[in-house]
């Protein structure tokens, strides 16, 4: 992830003919300039748009390409929006200014910390990953809640047979409940971890199992999504599988991989989202 100022230097080197600004979902905020408009003017418009207080997300995507053909692959750059909360100078007790430090407001009204800019960006990235994992688990929790309610109803019906007539279905239902309930514990654990991350800016490092065919994108969380993405890639046809592995291993972030896949094949990207939301 880079700032818009850093992208300006990249543009001087790459000299993209067409530039556009998009949100994380791929929706255009500033469309690509036509051949009648210069990329310099479009970059100024993008920079101005990023300063708008209506853009409340932390990251956006600037795309660059050199022709107007629709099927042209774009070079995508994840741009960090510098919110006002990251520009407040930290004042030391003696009245001096701490060099290279910014004040980051956390989600708690009573907690704050002092981080350098790089640490602030890393913290924001971890929060995004935690939100993705949390959204995925919410879907699984809703499914499990419905299953557990059905199982409890069946268990109550079985109880009416009497303790002396305990049936195999009762044993099955009781054992199933034992395996379903810990998933709720996992959800609670995730919520606590997310709160701790937001207030203290730290997270427990999790290492995904090594796979020689994949370079692990996830160094700080969202292991469930990582594994589901890998499983999705491995069931594709050989040609698509090779391309997805290349995209996966060349991406520095999950957002980068999602963007590359969406640009390559929107239907395939939709299938991936359905696979992630569907659980197994």
153 band by pLDDT with thresholds 50, 70 and 90:
confident
The domain boundary residue, chosen from 200, 235, 259: 200
Q: Residues with Cβ < 8 Å from 143, sequence gap 6 or more?
A: 279
Is 251 a residue whose pLDDT tops 50? yes
Most confident of 99-103, 143-147, 168-172: 143-147
* Residue 32: closest CA among 2, 3, 52, 43: 43
How far is Cα 2 from Cα 78, in angstroms, rounded to an integer?
6
- Do residues 165 and 125 both lie within one domain? yes
Task: Note the pLDDT tens digit of each residue in 56-95.
Answer: 888 999 999 998 887 788 999 999 987 544 444 444 555 4
The helix or strand, by DSSP H or E, that contains position 91, with its residue range, turns out to be strand 88-91
How far is Cα 59 from Cα 121, in angstroms, rounded to an integer?
10
- Do residues 52 and 73 both lie within one domain? yes
Residue 241 lies in a domain: yes
Helices (H), 51-103: none
Is 12 a residue whose pLDDT tops 90? yes
pTM of the complete model beyond 0.75:
no
| Residue % of the chain over a pLDDT of 90 | 21
The range of the structural domain enclosing residue 112 comes to: 89-117
- Do residues 71 and 129 both lie within one domain? no
Task: Note the pLDDT tens digit of each residue in 17-26.
Answer: 999 999 988 9
Residue with tokens 């009762």: 170
Number of domains in the chain: 4
Rg (CA), the chain: 24
């Amino acid at each position: 992830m880079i700032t818009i100022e850093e992208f300006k230097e990249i543009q001087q080197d790459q000299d993209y003919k067409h530039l556009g600004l998009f949100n994380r979902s791929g929706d255009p905020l500033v469309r690509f300039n036509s051949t009648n408009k210069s990329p310099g003017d479009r970059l100024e418009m993008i920079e101005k748009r990023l300063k708008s207080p209506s853009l409340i997300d932390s990251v956006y995507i600037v795309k660059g390409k050199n022709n107007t053909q629709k099927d042209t692959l774009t070079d995508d750059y994840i741009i960090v929006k510098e919110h006002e909360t990251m520009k407040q100078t930290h004042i030391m007790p003696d009245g001096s200014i701490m060099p290279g430090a910014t004040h980051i407001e956390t989600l708690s009204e009573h907690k704050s910390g002092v981080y350098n800019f790089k640490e602030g960006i890393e913290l924001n990235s971890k929060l995004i990953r935690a939100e993705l994992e949390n959204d995925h688990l919410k879907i699984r929790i809703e499914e499990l809640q419905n299953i557990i309610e059905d199982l409890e109803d069946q268990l109550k019906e079985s109880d009416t047979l009497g303790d002396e007539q305990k049936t195999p279905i009762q044993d099955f239902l009781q054992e199933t409940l034992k395996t379903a309930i810990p998933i709720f514990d996992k959800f609670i654990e995730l919520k606590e971890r997310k709160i701790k991350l937001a207030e203290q800016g730290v997270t427990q490092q999790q290492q995904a199992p090594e796979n020689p065919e994949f370079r692990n994108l996830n160094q700080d969380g969202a292991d469930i999504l990582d594994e589901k993405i890998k499983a999705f890639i491995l069931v594709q046809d050989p040609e698509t599988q090779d391309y997805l592995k290349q995209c996966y291993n060349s991406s520095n972030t999950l957002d980068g991989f999602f963007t590359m896949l969406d640009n390559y094949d929107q239907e395939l990207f939709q299938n991936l989202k359905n696979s992630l939301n569907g659980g197994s």
